[in-house]
Amino acid sequence: MTELRNDSVERRPGPSAASPYADRQPRPASLADVLDRVLDKGIVIAGDIQVNLLDIELLTIKIRLLVASVDRAQEMGIDWWKNDPMLSGRDDKLAEENRELKRRVQELEARRG
Amino acid sequence: MGEPARYLYAVTRGLAPAVLDGVCGQAGERLEMLGVLDLEAVVSTVDLDEFGEDALHENLEHLDWIERTARAHDAVVQACAAAAPTAPMRLATVCLDDQSVRLRLEEWYDELAAALDRVAGREEWSVKVFAHPAPTTAVMEPAEPALAGGAAYLRRKKAATEERRAAEARSLRAVEAVDRELRGISVAARHLRAQDPRLSGHAGTMLLNAAYLVEAGDARRFTELVAELVRTHPGVSIGCDGPWPPYSFATLDRS
C-alpha cells in the first residue's frame, strides 16, 4: 500500500496503457493486504480437508493486529512477534535466555552461601 | 512424504495453459488445469503432511508459513487473473484427488459461472483513507505550567475536545465523499475491516479500507480520480493499490 498525500500520486504496481497487469510481477503488495484477501475473501468451497474457519478467523484477528504493516514495523525495529512462540513457532531464544538467567541466579546464590 | 492431495487456487474460464508456464504453486510444485465444461480448476499437488487437517491447524499458527503460503496462492491467482476471468479460492482449499476437484466444480457450476460473469473484464482496486495523526499533546500542555489556572485548563480542554470532534467530523465527511466518488465509476464496492491502527505502521487511524470493482478499461480514469481526490481532500491521507484479482467480488450466491 502506498500512502498518498496532496499532489504525490504513487501506487504499485501501476497499470500501463497496454496492459493493466503488465508490470505487476513481482508484486510488492503488503502482507496485510494479501491476507485481507486470501484469508478473508475468495470463494469458499469446502474441500476434503476441513479447516475450522472459526479458528482461522481468530487467528486472522491476531495477525491483523500484527502485520498491518510488517515491513514498516521491521523498519522501525519492532519485531517482537518473532519471539512470540504462538506466532513464530520459535521460542528457542527465550528458552535460552531463561536458562542463562537461571544459571546466573544459581551462581549468585552459590557465592552468597 | 505424506499422501498427495490437490490444492485449488482458482477457477477460470478460457485460461490458456501457457499462462501458467513459469509460475509455481505451493512448495514450487507444477501447476495444472482440470477442465470441467467451459471452466478450469487451477491446481497443484501438495503433501498432506503439510496441508492435511492436523498439519493446517499447526501451520496456520505460524506467520512465516502463512506468509509463504498466502504469497504463493496470490501469485498463482494474479497470473490467472491477468489472462482470463478468474474466481480466486480461499486459502488452503484442498481436495484429495482430481475427481474430487471436478465434483466440486460440477456441484457449484452455476454459481461459479455467475461469479465469473460478474468479474470478467473487471479488476479490483484497493483504496484506504487515513486520518492525519491528531496533535493532542501540544493542545493539552500549557506552555508554562505555573500559569495554568483551573479555569484556563478547562477552557483549553474544552477547546481541544471540540477541535478533535470537528476534525473527526471533517474526516468522516471526506471519507463519505471519496467513497461516493469512487463508487460512481465502479461496478461494485466492498468495505473491508479496517486494519488495526495500533500496529498498522500508519500514524493515523484507518478510516476506510475499501475495494472497488472497476472495468479494466476504466482503470486509468479510476486512478486519475483517486489522484484528484488526494488533491481535493488534503485533510486525510489516501492510498491506492491495484489492480488486484477480484478477491472481494468473486463470491458464490446460492439462493
- Band of the pLDDT at A97, cuts 50, 70, 90? confident
> What is the sign of the dihedral through the CA atoms of B249, B250, B251 and B255?
positive
Q: How many domains does the structure of chain A reveal? A: 2
**All three cell numbers of A24:** 505487476
* Enclosing domain of residue A101: 79-113
More confident residue, B151 or A63: B151
**Residues A60 and A84 occupy one common structural domain:** no
Distance CA B132, CA B130 (A): 6
Same domain, A36 and A74: yes
Domains of chain B: 4-119 (no CATH), 122-250 (3.30.70)
Query: pLDDT-based confidence at A20, cuts 50/70/90?
Result: very low
**pLDDT value at residue A21:** 41
User: A112 and A85, same structural domain?
Assistant: yes
- Facing B237 at nearest CB: one of A5, A21, A42: A5
pLDDT score of B36: 96
A1–B126 CB contact, under 8 Å: yes
Q: What is the pLDDT of residue B217?
A: 96
Q: What is the pLDDT of residue B230?
A: 96
pLDDT interval class at A8 (50, 70, 90): very low
Q: In what order do the strands lie in the sheet with B122-131?
A: A3-4, B236-244, B122-131, B206-215, B188-191
pTM above 0.90?
no
| Cβ pair B63:A88 closer than 8 A | yes
* Residue A109, domain member (yes or no): yes
Nearest to B186 by CA among B140, B228, B217: B217
Secondary structure (3-state) at B144: coil
User: Mind telling me how many Å the CA of A100 is from chain B's nearest CA?
Assistant: 26
Give the tens place of pLDDT for each residue, B20-39.
Answer: 999 999 999 999 999 999 99
* DSSP assignment of B192-244: PPPPPTTTSS-SS-EEEEEEEEEEGGGHHHHHHHHHHHHHH-TTEEEEEEEEE
Residues B8-28 have a mean pLDDT of 96
Q: Among residues 147-186 of chain B, which lie with CB inside 8 Å of chain A?
A: none
Q: Is the pLDDT of residue B47 over 50?
A: yes
Check whether residue A36 and residue A73 sit in a common domain: yes
Residue percentage of chain B with pLDDT more than 90: 73
What pLDDT is recorded for position A16? 33
When pLDDT is averaged across residues B134-148 and rounded to a whole number, the result is 56
Model pLDDT for residues A28-66, shown as the tens digit of each residue: 677 778 888 888 888 988 889 977 655 666 566 566 656
Decide if A54 is inside a domain.
Answer: yes
Taking an 8 Å cut-off on Cβ atoms, the answer to whether A7 and B230 are in contact is yes
Query: Which of B45, B90, B26, B17 lies closest to B245, judged by CA?
Result: B90
> Does B151 have pLDDT greater than 60?
yes
